[in-house]
Copies of this chain bind each other. A is one copy, B any other.
Amino acid sequence: MKLRFAGTGDSAQVPCFGCDCLACQRARLLSCHRREPCCGEIELDGELILIDAGRMDLAARCERQRPAAILLTHYHADHVQGLLHLRWGRGESIPVYGPKDPQGCADLHRNPGILDFQPGLKPFRTLQLGRLEVTPLPLNHSKPTLGYAIEDGVNRLAWLCDTVGLPGATERFLSEWRPHGVVVDATHPDSYHSPNPESDDSPHPESHTTPRNHNNVAMALEIIERIQPSRAWLTHISHELDADFMATSRILPEGVELASDNLQILF
Contact = CB atoms under 8 A, between A and B. Distances in A.
B88 A84 contact: no
A172 to B, nearest CB: 32
A18 interface: yes
Contacts of A78: 84-85
Interface in A76-99: 77-78, 81, 84-86, 88-91
Given A12-B89, A89-B12, A106-B77, A114 B18 contact: yes
A85 B106 contact: no
A257 B91 CA distance: 31
A231 interface: no
A11 B88 contact: yes
A92 to B, nearest CB: 8
Contacts of A127: none
Given A56-B57, A57-B56, A19 B90 contact: yes
A265 interface: no
A112 to B, nearest CB: 13
A33 interface: no
A72 interface: no
A15 B62 CA distance: 13
B89 A18 contact: yes
A60 to B, nearest CB: 8
Contacts of A37: 85
Contacts of A157: none
A101 B226 CA distance: 48
Contacts of A13: 59, 85, 88
A6 to B, nearest CB: 15
A63 B84 CA distance: 23
B88 A17 contact: yes
A86 B12 CA distance: 8
Max count, chain B CB within 10 A of own CB: residue among A15, A17, A62: A17
14 contacts: A12-B85, A15-B63, A17-B59, A17-B85, A17-B86, A18-B66, A18-B91, A18-B114, A19-B89, A19-B91, A20-B90, A56-B57, A81-B81, A81-B84
Given A18-B90, A78-B85, 16 more contacts: A11-B88, A12-B85, A13-B88, A15-B63, A17-B59, A17-B88, A17-B114, A18-B62, A18-B114, A56-B56, A56-B85, A77-B85, A77-B107, A81-B81, A81-B84, A81-B85
